[in-house]
Structure 1
Amino acid sequence: MDVFPDFGSVGGAVELRSIVGALLMFVLITAVLMLILCAIMWAVASSSGNHQTATKARTGLFVALGTAALAGAGVAWVNFLLDIGEHL
């Protein structure tokens, strides 16, 4: 007699995938919009000679870039983990 766990009895993977995907897509869109906004503000502040605002806009640009990268990697990571979980 073989005893194996019943992985089909655990539900909700499809709902979890759609919820996490929707939340991370919202974060990704917001980060890309902030990336564009900070780049514009950095250019305007640099051309007008306001170096303090240019520094803050550059910092915001790098934070938005990091957030967009992490959000994009987060979608791939969650999909990878859910696919691995189905094949255990």
Structure 2
Amino acid sequence: MDVFPDFEGLSGISELREVAGAVLMFVLIVAVLMLIVSAICWAIGSSNGNYQTATRGRVGVFVALGAAVLAGAGAAWLNWLITVGDQL
């Protein structure tokens, strides 16, 4: 028995895939821009001795990295679930 989700059963599923890909790209671009800005704030705050700016920059760097990891992991997880569903 070969069970696989019927992606063509619903109308508009190809547009949904395009939208999901566009959202993933948008999230990754924003995460990279946030990483750059936060790293600059962290560096400036550390060099000037302003611990509040350095702390906020560091938090921004970690949030940006976390967002990028979660966005990438979401796509990998979805592909894994489709593969597992195909094997059932």
Q: What TM-score, normalized by structure 1, do the two folds share?
A: 0.75
Flag structure 1 segments of 5+ consecutive residues without an equivalent.
Answer: 1-6
**What CA distance in whole angstroms lies between the structure 1 residues aligned with 2:74 and 2:21?**
9
What are the residue-to-residue correspondences of 1:1-88 with 2, within 5 Å?
Answer: 7=6, 10-11=9-10, 12-81=12-81, 87=86
Match of 1:4 in 2: none
In 2, distance between residues paired with 1:80 and 1:64?
24
SS of 2:73's partner is helix
* Distance apart, 1:20 and its partner CA: 0.5
Alignment: residue pair count:
83
Note the alpha carbon deviations across 1:48-68, whole angstroms, 9 max, x for none.
110111001101110111001
- Choose 1 or 2 for highest CA Rg: 1
Answer whether contact 1:20 1:75 (CA < 8 A) is retained.
Answer: no
> Greater shift after overlay, 25-34 or 12-21?
12-21
Give TM-score scaled by structure 2 length. 0.75
Amino acid at match of 1:72: G
Q: Write the distance in 1 (CA, Å) between the matches of 2:52 and 2:46.
A: 9
1:25/1:71 contact within 8 Å kept: no
